[in-house]
Amino acid sequence: MKDEKIRLYDKTFKPYIRHERILDAIDGVARELNADFNGCQDIPVILCVLNGSIPFTGELLQRIDFPCQVISIKMSSYQGTTSTGTVLNVMGLTDSVKGRRVIICEDIVDTGNTIVALKEMLLDKEGAAEVKICTLLLKPDVYDKPVKLDYVGMEIPNAFIVGFGLDYNELGRNIRDIYVIDDKMKYYILFGPPGAGKGTQAGAIAQKYNLKHISTGELLRAEIAAGTELGKQAKSLIDAGSLVPDSVVEGMIENAFDTVKNVDGFLLDGFPRNLTQAADLDKILAKRGEEVTAVVGLMIDDEMIYQRIRGRAVIEGRADDANDEIIANRIRTYHSQTEPLIDYYKKAGKYWEVDVDGGTIEENRARVLAKMDTIA
């Protein structure tokens, strides 16, 4: 199993159960089945519940010693990552089970709605003589049905998983190992010197990974426009010609963490700018039981900083961007105050870097997103 996370549609999944462990669980199920059906005079039916149970059934059949017939059925109660509670018979039995002993092969049992409905249908409507339930995985925390599960490969916690037949909206079934959804909130920092293109690339990153982009400048303007207490405090300081202190900016960021919903995480742009702010961010996240996920540095050299900012001055009409002394001061401030954050996050094992010194905006975006894919 690779250590890298995978992404299916809008969800990220991390490694969970190795292929070797899955096969060990199937070995155990096969031993129990062989012990119970060894020497049977009839020919039991192995019923594969499509599509998720195909890999499990295929591996199990290679380990079964007694004669059997394999048929299939397709049922569903899931949409996305949650059960609808309504069991649908999507495709009927591919052969009759009347008077036969049936072994249902299911990939996973959680609520048990599907498996219980299937067993009742086989006994009451299809006339099966006996029905045994065999599942590779069981979530005991959510299974509360009185129906006995006869053969269980392994028990797992109640989390959404993909791989080895299990899917997220039909993706992931072909993965050899099993991955679990990584639903912990993400906190990314987009880092780099002035002119590196953080604002240019932030939108694409936020959109692809369902993140809330937090630019400290935009955050200040939004809080002031909304007339919040923090916004009023910031406005009074700005009107008086004073710098907005870290405590006010950090309060706004923390407020965003508390109030923004329906995202997988946050992308901080322009914060932290120094080691003090980095330590403060660590404390804010620690109170939430969280931590910085990763820092992505967009790197350009000093000469490129001059070129990028001068170009921005022409495009946006910003006089300060056309002044070489102001640019030089920004570069000095970056090297003295912000650049030490690289070592700070490297020591924590959370720093990744992308060279965006050359190439078009689109080419640099492709490099940044490729790097994000390895850490998201």
Catalytic residue chosen out of the listed positions 330, 350, 365, 371: 330
Is 332 in the active site?
no
Helix orientation angle between 246-259 and 275-287, rounded to the nearest 10 degrees: 30
Neighbours of 63 (CB within 10 A): 15
Catalytic residue chosen out of the listed positions 173, 208, 312, 367: 312
Catalytic residue chosen out of the listed positions 273, 310, 346, 367: 273
pLDDT digits (tens, 9 = 90+) for 134-184: 999 999 999 999 999 999 999 999 999 999 999 999 999 999 999 999 878
What are the chain's domains? Answer: 6-181 (3.40.50.2020), 186-375 (3.40.50.300)
Is 100 in the active site?
no
CB 94 within 8 A of CB 58: no
CB 107 within 8 A of CB 135: yes
Residue with the bigger pLDDT between 216 and 348: it is 348
**Whole-structure pTM over 0.85, yes or no?**
no
Rounded to whole angstroms, the Cα distance separating 306 from 327 reads 7
Catalytic residue chosen out of the listed positions 198, 308, 365, 371: 198
Is 198 in the active site?
yes
pLDDT digits (tens, 9 = 90+) for 194-231: 889 898 999 999 999 999 999 987 888 888 888 888 88
Strands 6-8 and 11-17, bridge-based pairing: antiparallel
Is 312 in the active site?
yes
